[in-house]
């Protein structure tokens, strides 16, 4: 299967950005580890990062024709982007929501995910392993469908 990993705003600065919350590994290092995790399970991954809401929406639309599932960390858009919610709802492929930090255990504004109801499921709070778990989640969904 082919899965797409989409990272939203400020996630390009992983490693530098608030390492006490988000860890000290770069997005590239996490992506490399995900590639290996997916390869072992027999899946292919592609990656996209943008700081712009519209680009993330365009990317989700395009993904529906090319990929079997999406892993999405929408960053702060998670908490208020109804447009990204609607883009997820508009596409038929499963989208797994991911967060490095446990958003349920942080500031009030982070405790709500407006995208969660449109997603197949959500994984938060396990640092970079949230992404690895998301690969397993898509693997599970793919096997369940067979
Ligand atoms: C995040 C949590 C969001 O609240 C925040 O805006 C991010 C990262 C996470 O991965 O923990 O940019 O999505």
pLDDT band at 123 (very low <50, low <70, confident <90, very high): very high
CA of 113 to the centre of ligand 1 (A): 11
pLDDT at 33 over 90: yes
Q: Return the domain boundaries, the chain.
A: 2-145
Return the pLDDT at 146: 72
Domain 2-145 has CATH 1.20.1440.230: no
Residue 10 φ/ψ region, left for φ over 0, alpha for ψ in the -120 to 50 degree band, beta for the rest = left
Element holding 85 (H helix, E strand) = helix 82-90
In this prediction, residues 42-52 reach a mean pLDDT of: 98
CA of 42 to the centre of ligand 1 (A): 28
- Which residues contact ligand 1 via a Cβ below 6 A? 10, 73, 75-76, 78, 99-101, 103, 110
pLDDT band at 124 (very low <50, low <70, confident <90, very high): very high
Nearest atom in ligand 1 to the alpha carbon of residue 9 is 12
Does this model's pTM top 0.85? My answer is yes
């Amino acid at each position: 299967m082919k899965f797409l990993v989409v990272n939203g705003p400020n996630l390009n600065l992983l490693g530098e950005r608030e390492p006490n919350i988000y860890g000290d590994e770069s997005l590239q290092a996490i992506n490399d580890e995900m590639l290996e995790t997916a390869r072992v399970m027999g899946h292919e991954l592609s990656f996209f990062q943008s700081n712009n809401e519209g680009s993330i929406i365009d990317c989700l639309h395009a993904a529906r024709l090319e990929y079997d599932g999406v892993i999405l960390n929408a960053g702060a858009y998670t908490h208020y982007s109804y447009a990204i919610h609607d883009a997820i709802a508009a596409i038929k492929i499963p989208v797994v929501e991911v967060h490095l930090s446990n958003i349920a255990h942080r500031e009030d504004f982070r405790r709500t995910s407006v995208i969660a109801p449109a997603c197949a499921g959500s994984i938060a709070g396990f640092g970079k392993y949230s992404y690895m778990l998301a690969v397993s989640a898509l693997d599970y969904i793919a096997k369940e469908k067979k």
